[in-house]
Amino acid sequence: MKKTYFLDTSYILSLEIKNDSAHQQVLQNWADLAMFSTFLVTTTYVFDEVVTFLNSRNLHYKAVEVGNRLLESKDIELLEIERTLFNQGWQYFQKHKDKSYSLTDCLSFIVMQEREIVTALTLDNHFRQAGFQILP
């Protein structure tokens, strides 16, 4: 049985940007995960953050490359954020005014709760704050 993880923006960017301070750590974690049967879940909001970030750094070619890899991977489920899920994320966002969660974070948390995913591949400590485990 495949172990399922949530794939977050910060992890993808660290994996893709070689001069990122966490690149080696994330690359090693990625290699470790590749030895096991894993399945990744992410959202269209994470996809948007990744390609927007890369494009805003004049890395359009990289944004397209990474975006296509995410879209074509058989081991990554890209969830469309429909209205019901959006509303749940928005309620979560409003409820946690004491945190600096982004709306994308809140949507990710709701997806993780609904899918019973306990671990996120992320460098964002907001996931830990929200009660999830994080890797690396």
Number of domains in the chain: 1
Residue 121: pLDDT band with limits 50, 70, 90: very high
pTM score, two decimals? 0.95
Segment 11-37 shows an average pLDDT of 94
Domain interval for residue 87: 9-135
Question: Is residue 19 situated within a structural domain?
Answer: yes
pLDDT of residue 2: 84
Question: Is residue 113 situated within a structural domain?
Answer: yes
Q: Which two tokens stand for residue 22?
A: 């966490």
Residue 47: pLDDT band with limits 50, 70, 90: very high
Residue 82 DSSP one-character state: -
Q: Which CATH number is 29's domain given?
A: 3.40.50.1010
Question: Is residue 46 situated within a structural domain?
Answer: yes
- Percent of the chain with pLDDT strictly greater than 70: 100
Question: Is residue 1 situated within a structural domain?
Answer: no
Question: Is residue 3 situated within a structural domain?
Answer: no
Q: Over 90: is that where the pLDDT of 101 sits?
A: yes
For residues 15 and 135, what is the distance between their CA atoms, to the nearest angstrom? 13
For residues 56 and 59, what is the distance between their CA atoms, to the nearest angstrom? 7
Peptide bond into 136 cis (omega under 30): yes
Question: Is residue 84 situated within a structural domain?
Answer: yes
Question: Is residue 2 situated within a structural domain?
Answer: no
Question: Is residue 50 situated within a structural domain?
Answer: yes
